[in-house]
Amino acid sequence: LLEIVTGDINTLFAKADDHSRKRDREQEAIIQLQERLVDYPELLGYLHAYEQRKDIEAVSVYWLDKATVVWTHFPDRGKNLRALGVSSRAQIDQWYDNLIKKLKANSTIEPPQVVKDVLYNSYVRMRSELLDD
């Protein structure tokens, strides 16, 4: 929901200050959405649950959201991935390792194994099919 306000922000190789700016924009987006969605308290509750990542459903959605980033690179066979500066499997490996650290740090509980498997298998497929170094 926050991306309705912030737009999609590429964080593939973002630095700490990029992430900080993204968090600031997301906090502003939460305030805007609370005002815009005042008539939909249930939806706002889901948004807050997602942001807190304290239940299995919210954590699962959070992790799967990262898998969808991987999936977006298959229709163009990695053309946009390469346009973003990704030219090697080592870069993807580094991105994935950093992503897993971030997901674990930002989740109060672990998602179900199937969610981890979907993310991992998506990464493996991206690595093997879209890069050939």
Contact 63, 119 (CB under 8 A): yes
**Of 76 and 12, which is predicted with more confidence?**
76
What amino acid occupies position 22?
A: K
Q: Tell which residue, 79, 82, 105, 103, has the closest CA to residue 92.
A: 82
> Whole-prediction pTM value?
0.83
Tokens linked to 51: 């942001």
Q: Is 111 exposed, middle or buried (0-12, 13-18, 19+ CB in 10 A)?
A: buried
pLDDT digits (tens, 9 = 90+) for 34-90: 999 999 999 999 999 999 998 999 999 999 999 998 999 999 999 999 998 898 999
User: How far is C-alpha 72 from the chain's CA centre?
Assistant: 12
The pLDDT value recorded for residue 62 is: 94
Residues 93, 13, 11, 58: is their CA dihedral positive or negative?
Answer: positive
Sorted by where each begins, the domain ranges of the chain are 1-52, 53-133
Task: Kindly indicate the confidence band of residue 11, based on its pLDDT and cuts at 50, 70 and 90.
Answer: confident
Tell me what the mean pLDDT of segment 24-29 comes to. 92
Mean pLDDT of 18-34: 90
Task: Say what angle helices 89-105 and 56-71 make with each other, to 10 degrees.
Answer: 160
In angstroms, the CA 133 to CA 131 distance is 6
Which pair of tokens denotes residue 58?
Answer: 């919210």
Please name the amino acid found at residue 14.
A
Q: Which residue is it, tokens 């649950």?
A: 49
